[in-house]
Structure 1
Amino acid sequence: MKGIIRTKAVLDRESQSHYWLTVYAQDNAAVPLHSIVEVYIQVSDVNDNAPFPTLPVFRGYIPENSAAGTDIIRVEVEDLDETESQNITFEIPSKKIRRMFQIDRTTDAFSASSSTPLETARTFFSVSKDDPLSLRWFSPVET
């Protein structure tokens, strides 16, 4: 005889990553015999959560005429998914902004990409962060 365990609802690894079940098996004899077995079920992760910023807006400051490569800010994100979903990369969508700023792929630090004077008092731009399976967010950055 085999018993099959099925879900009655959708499982979410971010809510509960595993379950311990006690399974009770009993025969139908006049004097029934039974046994108990413990079953461990691990919920595997799927990439169902986009990475999200730890702040609604990130603010970085840099003096005008700063040298190229001067670190400005480090944008932080979290991703509730595990494994390869954690391999996340930043991107600056605007070509105009990419001429002024760059992202260090190792440290995720934003820096000035050239010593071009930043004539505007403030520059706003969006930064996106993709995970490998194409979930994405955009966050405003103010410099």
Structure 2
Amino acid sequence: NIWTTASLDREEQMQYWLSVCAQTVEPVPLQTCLDVYIEVLDENDNVPLTEQPAYYPSLLENSEPGTALVHLIAIDQDLNNLDELTFNITAGNSQGHFVIDPKTGVIRTTRRQIDRETQQEHVLG
């Protein structure tokens, strides 16, 4: 049996090659060795992070529907394929002024009119 003495983290090291030898205890010992390949399986233990901790885009009121506001770029160290990330707006969009493309992370305006006199800023989560 092979045990680890510490936790393994795939993001630090993905695989290990070990040489394991067995030897008899005799005046003239006999020995055999073999190589063991160990692949560390990934666990979803990292939070996806955007390139910036906060984005501060600006937008003219009465902008055309579909105006691109910001392009979020995120990285998840647990994923081998970035296509597996999806984006969604979870807060701050109760009036439906914005929509986000779940695959690209681009936030756009909708047909709802944005009026600065009614609301000067929108904080999305």
Question: Distance in 1 between the 2:101 and 2:50 partners?
Answer: 17
Aligned counterparts of 2:14 and 2:95: Cα–Cα separation in 1: 40
Indicate the residue corresponding to 1:126 in structure 2. 124
Distance 1:65 1:85, change over 3 A: closer
Q: CA deviation at 1:83?
A: 5.2
Q: Is the 8 A contact 2:97 2:109 kept in 1?
A: yes
**Where does the alignment leave 5 or more consecutive residues of structure 2 unmatched?**
none
Distance 1:29 1:125, change over 3 A: same
State, as a whole percentage, how many aligned pairs show the same letter: 33
Indicate the residue corresponding to 1:117 in structure 2: 114
Q: Name the residue aligned to 2:104.
A: 107
**Structure 2 matches for 1:53-92, cutoff 5 A?**
53-82=50-79, 87-92=84-89
Structure 1 residues 53-99: Cα deviation after superposition (integer angstroms, max 9, x where no partner): 21111122322221111111111111110258962322222364551
Report if the CA contact (8 A) 1:47-1:85 is conserved.
Answer: no
CA distance 1:41–1:86, shift in 2 (3 Å) = farther
Asked which structure has the greater RCO (Cα within 8 Å, sep 6+), the reply is 1
- What is the alpha-carbon distance in structure 1 between the residues aligned to residue 27 and residue 101 of structure 2? 73
Shift of 1:109: 0.4
Query: C-alpha distance in 2, partners of 1:32/1:12?
Result: 37
Q: Could you tell me the TM-score, scaled by structure 2's length?
A: 0.83
RMSD across aligned positions (CA)? 2.4
Runs of 4+ in 1 over 6 A off after TM superposition: none
Q: 1:91 to 1:106 in 2, by over 3 A?
A: closer
CA distance in 1, matches of 2:95, 2:28: 78
Unaligned runs of 5+ in 1: 128-143
Question: Does 2:28 correspond to 1:28?
Answer: no
